[in-house]
Amino acid sequence: MGLLKRVAEALMITVLVILSMGFLTAAAEGVHLSRHFLSYALHRTGQYLRFSVDIFKNQKGWVEVIHEGNSVMYIPHPSPHQIFHMLVGTSPQMAILNTLFLLSVTMVLVFTVGGYWGLKAGYQGGRWDGVLAVLAPMFSAIPGWFWGIFLMWALWWKLSIVPLSYIDYVHMVEGTGKPTPFTYLYALTTPTLTLTFANVAVYAYNVRNLVRNELHEEYFLADVLKGLPDKRIMRKALRTVLPPFLTFTSYNFLNLMMNGMAVEVMFNVPGIG
C-alpha cells in the first residue's frame, strides 16, 4: 500500500507540473488573467501533452512554401520526434534506455557497496560504524550535483582519466571506429560514480540500522551462541533485512531518478533528463 501511495503521489505531482507548464506558457505569451485565461491555459496544456506523446511517433515533418513575387521561401516544420532528436541527439526510446541503464548500473554499485558496508557496520560496529555514522548525515545533506562537480574536477580536470561529455566521447569513438559496450560504460563512468557517491552512504546507513534491529532477535542470539561463523550470520542477516531494504529502495527510486536527471544534464547524457 505504501508503494501504491508513492506512485499515486508521483502521478499527482506530474499532473500538477503539466498544468503549471500550461499556465506558465499562457502567461508568458501575454494572456492576461481573464475569463479566457483558463481556457487558453488548458489548451496549451493539451498541446504540450500531444507534443509529449508525438515525440514517440517516428513521423516526418513538412515544409511550408511561401511565394512572394519571384522569390520562394521554404520554412521547415519538423515533427516532434525530429525536434527531440535534434535537441537530445538520440531517439526518445534510446533516451529512456540510457537513463534506465545509468540507474541500473548505479543501483548495482549501491546495493553491493552499500549493502556490504551496512552489514559490516551493523554487525561488527567499530571503525566501520564510526565512519558511516559521520558520513551518512553529511552525504544526505550534500546534493548529488556537488559530487558531479567534485568528480569532474578530480577525474577529468586534474587526472584526465575519464571523459567529460558522454555524447561527445561516443561520437568521437564512432568517428574513429566502432563503439563497443565498454565504450558506453566508460563514457558513463563519471555520472555513475556521481550517483553512487550521492546515495551509497545513505543506503549503507539504512542497512546498518536494519541489522542493528535484528541483533536483538532471538534467532540471532541463538546463532551466536551456537558459535556459527560471522560470514554465515551476516549472510542470514542480509536475507532478513533485504525485503525492508528493497522497500526503502523503491520509495527512494524517484529521488534517485531526479538526481539522475540533473547528472545527465551535467555530463551531456542523452537520457530523459
Q: pLDDT of 15-30, one tens digit each?
A: 666 666 666 665 655 5
Neighbours of 162 (CB within 10 A): 19
Task: Give me the pLDDT at residue 190, please.
Answer: 92
Task: Give me the pLDDT at residue 86, please.
Answer: 79
Neighbours of 229 (CB within 10 A): 9
Under 8 Å between Cβ of 79 and 60? yes
Task: Give me the pLDDT at residue 122, please.
Answer: 79
Task: Give me the pLDDT at residue 11, please.
Answer: 64
Domain segments of the chain: what residues?
Answer: 2-81, 89-266
Q: Which residue has the higher pLDDT, 253 or 98?
A: 98
Task: Give me the pLDDT at residue 28, please.
Answer: 59
> Distance between CA atoms of 138 and 133, rounded to whole angstroms?
9
* Sequence-distant contacts of 15-18: CB under 8 A, at least 24 apart: 18/45, 18/48, 18/49
Among 22-26, 99-103, 156-160, 165-169, which stretch is predicted with the lowest mean pLDDT? 22-26
Mark 134-156 as b/e (b = at least 16 C-beta within 10 Å): ebbeebeeeebeebbeebbeebb
Question: Under 8 Å CB-to-CB from 82, ≥6 apart: which residues?
Answer: 60, 61
Task: Give me the pLDDT at residue 192, please.
Answer: 92
Distances (CA, A) of 145 to 54, 131, 259, 264, 271: 31, 23, 8, 10, 16
Would the pTM of this model clear 0.75, i.e. be above it? no
Under 8 Å between Cβ of 88 and 61? no
Mark 116-133 as b/e (b = at least 16 C-beta within 10 Å): ebbbbbbbeeeebbeebe
Q: What are phi and psi of 270, to 5 degrees?
A: -75, 75
Report the candidate in 128, 85, 113 with the shortest Cα–Cα distance to residue 203.
113
Task: Give me the pLDDT at residue 19, please.
Answer: 64
> Distance between CA atoms of 95 and 85, rounded to whole angstroms?
10
> Distance between CA atoms of 66 and 246, rounded to whole angstroms?
60
Kindly tell me if the per-residue pLDDT of 222 is higher than 60.
Answer: yes
Among 62-71, 92-101, 191-200, which stretch is predicted with the lowest mean pLDDT? 62-71
Residue with cell 552489514: 119
Task: Give me the pLDDT at residue 35, please.
Answer: 59
pLDDT in tens, 247-271: 767 766 767 777 888 888 889 888 8
CATH of region 89-266, choose from 3.40.50, 1.10.3720, 3.10.450, 2.40.50: 1.10.3720
